[in-house]
Amino acid sequence: MQHRVLRSFQYFCLPGLVLGLALAAQAGGAHRFAGVYQILKVTTPEGHGDSVQVKVSLRVLNYSGADVTGATISLVSSLVTNGPEFEWEKEEVPFTDVALLYNPHLKTLAPALVGTFTIPRDEYAQWKLGAGPRFVIAYPNAAGEQQSFRIDMVPAF
């Protein structure tokens, strides 16, 4: 019996543990910012049947390793991951001059950022299917070089 338990541990649990640790180590470098969002209100603006206005509350956590100041957080399309910007993305006013303290242990939460965005109905349909809003953060690092990262988003419950 003990031999059978040890063998199942070798063949199933140990490889699963190694795979999990490898994936966690690989993912650790890319995820510098995380966010929790809540959709507060959705309306259809007059004369814009192909668009919706969405009021969003966003809290961003900084795991980058340093405090961030003077950041700009912009809403981008969840329909395309790279390529040229859509016109609606250029027209949206981003959150500006955002300061985020490095927060590896969630000791303090940054205040919520609240904004209203006018987005295509197709974009909002993707959000309702689970894609959610996609935000990017841009800021100068300590050396003055411009940095830009995607914020990993999850919905608030």
Length, in residues, of the chain = 157
Domain boundaries, the chain: 1-30, 31-155
Please report, in tens digits, the pLDDT of each residue of the chain (157 residues total).
555 555 444 444 433 433 333 333 334 456 899 999 999 999 987 777 799 999 999 999 998 889 999 999 999 988 766 655 788 888 888 999 999 988 877 666 778 999 999 999 999 999 999 889 999 999 998 888 999 999 999 998 7
Question: Residue 84 carries which DSSP code?
Answer: S
Contact in structure between 72 and 151 (CB atoms under 8 Å): no
Q: Measured between alpha carbons, how far is residue 114 from residues 34, 36, 59, 152 in Å?
A: 16, 12, 9, 17
31-155 topology per CATH: Immunoglobulin-like (2.60.40)
| Pairing mode, strands 146-155 and 95-100 | unpaired
